[in-house]
Amino acid sequence: MADGFSGVLRITDLNDFITPSQECIKPVKVEKSSSKLGSIKIAEDGSYLQVDETGKASKLAKAQITLNDCLACSGCITSAETVLITQQSSEELYKVLRANSELPVERRQLIVVSIAPQVYASFSGKYDVAYDEAAARLTGFFKRLGAYHVLDTTFAREFTLVEMLHDFLERYRRKESDPSALPLLTSACPGFVCYAEKTHGDFILPYISRARSPQQVMGSLVKKYLASKISRTPDQIYHVSVMPCYDKKLEASRGDFYDEIYSTRDVDCVITSIEVESMFEREATSFGELEPSPLDTLFSCRVDGKSYRHAGSGSGGYCEHIFVQAARSLFNHQAEELTFKTLRNQDLKEVTLECGGETVLRFAIANGFRNIQNVVQKLKRGRCPYHFVEIMACPAGCLNGGAQLRPQDGDSKSLLKRVEEAYHSLQVRAPSMNKEVLEAYRDWLQLEGPDDAIGGDRQPIRTSYHAVEKMTSALNIRW
């Protein structure tokens, strides 16, 4: 299973080579204690045995790095996915499915799987099938494994888009009195959030939107909204998220998304596109052999029986949606098709709105760590010209996530092009057109709608950030 992670630090072998760029930069001082002599040998099954002076052998436990270890460390800032997270894997999912099937029906957890649209597009692009066919096959696969619902996180993204727009409009109107109001930075990429918390802390965090990512909004929808509708408690539902990115595992494990009362997380397990592909081998099947299943009508993201997407980039369309809506709300301007200007590279683009010879809106899309650093440095120098920045850690955005399917012929660019074509082949629909979303605002959040600023409870779709204090140690010095 570890093979699926990039630059992985395997928990099964402490002698694995770690490249310098991925080496842990916060070594822990280990207090040595005296102990009796002994030896270590390898058993026939490959496990390690410790043999003491009396000849007694005992199996050594695997060294493990827990998720809390990773989140509490201020060292690793750009390669969070390299940590093997034992509770976020297909192995853990199989363990839960197996245990669940052995329980009496009335005691079983309800298994719910939510899948990101970028994952559907990845399978569509690699296996040359229509987007909806890929979605139907993956739905059939997970239902065969024991899932009761298989949902599309496009529905949850509607809340993220709406809440981020709410954030932007409120901040834009107070930008003259609050220097940290703008630019507003997107919150959907956990790789960027991790980087911001551990590297720039209190300086950068005020600029990040408090809207939860689609994954975590779906976590709230499943564990709170759905649970209440079917008379279940959150811990009676096991929620699996299928994502294009390893860092989503870290996001799901944040303390902000843990329910202390029911001792459960909003998202219990995150697996990725390539992990799903490896599951086919375990099930002795292939993607082409999967039996399609009708897509769920719960939290529907379909019009006339076909899936839809949001306008804009394959990462979710945050820049385009908020630009268009802000132009209309703030300046009564109906923005038609947007024209982005490419700057230093294809992963850094901007779009502007001119009114009366003045640039009143300047938005940007910054993908990849190099461009993120450029934006951050401009912010620190007080020279950032943008009002809003859609930020994603992966070059080319989420459709090119680090956990997306690999090409069979080694041609990554060709595969990415097909994945992008699959995603952009979908019809476009604005979040405000989904009646189920508006119903959820009323029934679940007790708000009249997204624009309701009085009463209600936005907490299930909002989050907070925490600067991680940097640890200092003489062990950091490289001699």
Q: What is the pLDDT of residues 349-381, one digit of tens each?
A: 999 998 888 999 999 999 998 899 899 999 988
33, part of any domain = no
Considering the domain architecture, whether residues 264 and 339 belong to the same structural domain is answered as no
Q: What proportion of the chain, given as a percentage, has pLDDT over 70?
A: 81
The CATH number of the domain holding residue 190 is 3.40.950.10
Res 243: pLDDT: 95
Mean per-residue pLDDT for 397-420?
Answer: 90
35, part of any domain = no
Q: Is the pLDDT of residue 39 over 80?
A: no
115, part of any domain = yes
Considering the domain architecture, whether residues 170 and 196 belong to the same structural domain is answered as yes
The total domain count for the chain is 2
The CATH number of the domain holding residue 217 is 3.40.50.1780
Considering the domain architecture, whether residues 202 and 97 belong to the same structural domain is answered as no
DSSP output for 205-252: GGGB--BPPHHHHHHHIIIIIIHHHTT--GGGEEEEEEES-THHHHHH
Res 471: pLDDT: 60
Element holding 57 (H helix, E strand): strand 57-59
Mean per-residue pLDDT for 264-292?
Answer: 93
* Residues 304-318 pLDDT 10s: 889 999 999 999 999
Element holding 377 (H helix, E strand): helix 369-380
Res 163: pLDDT: 92
Largest CA distance in the chain: 88
Q: Is the pLDDT of residue 152 over 60?
A: yes
Question: For residue 9, which amino acid is it?
Answer: L
Res 83: pLDDT: 44
Mean per-residue pLDDT for 197-226?
Answer: 92
Considering the domain architecture, whether residues 232 and 163 belong to the same structural domain is answered as no
299, part of any domain = yes
Considering the domain architecture, whether residues 217 and 291 belong to the same structural domain is answered as yes
Considering the domain architecture, whether residues 332 and 374 belong to the same structural domain is answered as yes
Considering the domain architecture, whether residues 193 and 278 belong to the same structural domain is answered as no
Q: Is the pLDDT of residue 284 over 60?
A: yes
Q: How far is CA 405 from the centre of its chain?
A: 16
8, part of any domain = no
Domain containing 264: what range?
A: 87-157+213-308+432-447
Q: Is the pLDDT of residue 213 over 90?
A: yes
Q: How many other CB atoms sit within 10 Å of the CB of residue 293?
A: 18
461, part of any domain = no
Considering the domain architecture, whether residues 112 and 235 belong to the same structural domain is answered as yes
Mean per-residue pLDDT for 22-49?
Answer: 57
362, part of any domain = yes
Q: What proportion of the chain, given as a percentage, has pLDDT over 90?
A: 53
Res 62: pLDDT: 61
Mean per-residue pLDDT for 73-84?
Answer: 43
The backbone region for 312, taken as left when phi is positive above 0, alpha when psi lies in -120 to 50, beta otherwise, is left
Considering the domain architecture, whether residues 143 and 238 belong to the same structural domain is answered as yes
Q: Which of 60-69, 105-114, 425-434 has the highest mean pLDDT?
A: 105-114
Q: Is the pLDDT of residue 43 over 70?
A: no
67, part of any domain = no
Q: Is the pLDDT of residue 81 over 50?
A: no
DSSP output for 138-173: HHHHHHHHT-SEEEETHHHHHHHHHHHHHHHHHHHH
Q: Is the pLDDT of residue 478 over 50?
A: no
Considering the domain architecture, whether residues 205 and 353 belong to the same structural domain is answered as yes
Mean per-residue pLDDT for 164-170?
Answer: 93
Res 42: pLDDT: 72
Res 455: pLDDT: 67
Nearest of 163, 100, 155 to residue 321 by alpha carbon: 163
Structure-token match 């529907």, residue found: 300
Considering the domain architecture, whether residues 175 and 189 belong to the same structural domain is answered as yes
Considering the domain architecture, whether residues 167 and 152 belong to the same structural domain is answered as no
Q: Is the pLDDT of residue 79 over 50?
A: no
Mean per-residue pLDDT for 324-345?
Answer: 89
Q: Is the pLDDT of residue 36 over 70?
A: no
Query: What is residue 296's DSSP assignment?
Result: P
Query: What is residue 40's DSSP assignment?
Result: E
